[in-house]
C-alpha cells in the first residue's frame, strides 16, 4: 500500500475518554484503518504495564513508546530490540536530596515496571499499581539500586513551579521535566533529550513510513514534540492552548470521539 500512514495515539485525554475507556466508535475506526494497511501505535507517558491493556484491546502489532520516550520496545517481537534510556542513579538521588528544601508529598521512581515510593502512600500506590508492579517503600537514597526510567514528584500546586525552577537551574543538562495536568500536581522527570518524537522516529524508520505520513494525536505538554514532528499533528479539543497553537488542526475532545471524527473525514470512512 503506497500511502500507508502511521497513526500515533497518546492515551490519557486523547485515545481514552474520561472514564479511561476507548469508545466503540474510535475502536471501529482504528480497526478499519488497520485492515486497510495503516499502522497504529501508542505513545504515552505511562509505563508499559499501564498501557498494555489498551495495546491489546486495539489488537496492535507495532512497537510502543512508554515513559515519554525513555522506553521503546515491541511487545510482540523481542528481536526488534529495546531502547531504555534511564536517568543516572546519582542524579536521581541528588534530586531526592534537593527536594528536602521544598514541601512535597512524595517522590516516586519507576525502574521500568518496578515502582519505588519515598513515603508509603496508599492513594498513590493505588493510582500507580495498574499492571501489578513490584512496589518498594522507603528512602530512595537507600532503597533505589538501579537507574530509574522516570521519577515523579508529587507536590502542592504552589510548589510545582518552584521545584521545576530548581530542577532547571541545577540539572538542566541531564534531565527534562514536565508537569501533569490537574488534578494531579506532579512533576515528571526523564533523562534529557527524550520525548515521544524520539521514539516515534525509531518506529517510523522501522516501518519505512516518512514523517509526512505520520498523524499524531495529543492533548498535553508531553505531546508537544510529537505533534511538531508529525506530518499532521492533531490537537484534541481538550488540549492545552500551546498544543493547539502548534498543531496543524484541532479536532473534537476525547469525550466527543475526536480521533474517530478526524480519521473518518481524513480517510473517508463510513461506519455501518
* pLDDT at residue number 175: 87
Domains of the chain: 6-84+194-267 (3.40.50.1000), 89-191 (3.30.1240.10)
What's the rounded Cα separation, in Å, for the pair 40 and 9? 8
Please provide residue 205's backbone torsions phi and psi, each rounded to the nearest 5 degrees.
-65, -40
44 alpha-carbon distance from chain centroid: 2
pLDDT in tens for each of the 272 residues of the chain? 458 999 999 999 999 999 999 999 999 999 999 999 999 999 999 999 999 999 999 999 999 999 999 999 999 999 999 999 999 999 999 999 988 888 899 999 999 889 999 998 877 777 777 777 888 999 999 999 999 999 999 988 888 888 988 888 888 788 888 877 667 788 889 999 999 999 999 999 999 999 999 999 999 989 999 999 999 999 999 999 999 999 999 999 999 999 999 999 999 998 87
Relative to beta strand 150-155, strand 186-191 is: antiparallel
pTM for this predicted structure: 0.91
* pLDDT at residue number 47: 92
Q: Which three cell numbers stand for residue 249?
A: 488542526
Determine how many CB atoms are found less than 10 A away from the CB of residue 18. Answer: 11
Nearest to residue 167, comparing CAs of 152, 148, 183, 184? 152
Nearest to residue 194, comparing CAs of 179, 170, 213, 174? 174
Structural contact between residues 86 and 149, judged by C-beta atoms closer than 8 angstroms: yes
Catalytic residue among 3, 10, 19, 257: 10
Collect all residues with Cβ–Cβ distance below 8 Å to 112 and sequence separation of at least 6: 47, 48, 71, 84, 149
Nearest to residue 190, comparing CAs of 105, 272, 112? 112
Residue 257 annotated as catalytic: no
Q: Which three cell numbers stand for residue 138?
A: 522507603
DSSP of 209-236: --GGGEEEEE-SGGGHHHHHHSSEEEE-
What's the rounded Cα separation, in Å, for the pair 208 and 215? 14
Amino acid at each position: 500500500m503506497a500511502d500507508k500512514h502511521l497513526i500515533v495515539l497518546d492515551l490519557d485525554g486523547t485515545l481514552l475518554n474520561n472514564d479511561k475507556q476507548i469508545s466503540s466508535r474510535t475502536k471501529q475506526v482504528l480497526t478499519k484503518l488497520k485492515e486497510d494497511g495503516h499502522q497504529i501505535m501508542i505513545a504515552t507517558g505511562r509505563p508499559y504495564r499501564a498501557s498494555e491493556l489498551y495495546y491489546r484491546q486495539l489488537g496492535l502489532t507495532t512497537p510502543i513508546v512508554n515513559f515519554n520516550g525513555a522506553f521503546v520496545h515491541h511487545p510482540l517481537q523481542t528481536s526488534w530490540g529495546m531502547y531504555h534510556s534511564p536517568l543516572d542513579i546519582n542524579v536521581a538521588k541528588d534530586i531526592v536530596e534537593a527536594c528536602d528544601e521544598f514541601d512535597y508529598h512524595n517522590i516516586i521512581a519507576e525502574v521500568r515496571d518496578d515502582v519505588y515510593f519515598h513515603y508509603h502512600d496508599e492513594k498513590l500506590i493505588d493510582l500507580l499499581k495498574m499492571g501489578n508492579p513490584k512496589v518498594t517503600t522507603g528512602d530512595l537514597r537507600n532503597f533505589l539500586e538501579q537507574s530509574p526510567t522516570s521519577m515523579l514528584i508529587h507536590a502542592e500546586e504552589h510548589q510545582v513551579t518552584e521545584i521545576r525552577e530548581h530542577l532547571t537551574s541545577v540539572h538542566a543538562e541531564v534531565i527534562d521535566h514536565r508537569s501533569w495536568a490537574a488534578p494531579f500536581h506532579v512533576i515528571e522527570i526523564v533523562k534529557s533529550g527524550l520525548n515521544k518524537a524520539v521514539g516515534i522516529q525509531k518506529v517510523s524508520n522501522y516501518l519505512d513510513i516518512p514523517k509526512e505520513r505520520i498523524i499524531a494525536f495529543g492533548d498535553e505538554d508531553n505531546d508537544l514534540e510529537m505533534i511538531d514532528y508529525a506530518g499532521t499533528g492533531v490537537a484534541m479539543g481538550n488540549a492545552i492552548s500551546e498544543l493547539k497553537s502548534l498543531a496543524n488542526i484541532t479536532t473534537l475532545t476525547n469525550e466527543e470521539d475526536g480521533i474517530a471524527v478526524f480519521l473518518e473525514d481524513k480517510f473517508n470512512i463510513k461506519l455501518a
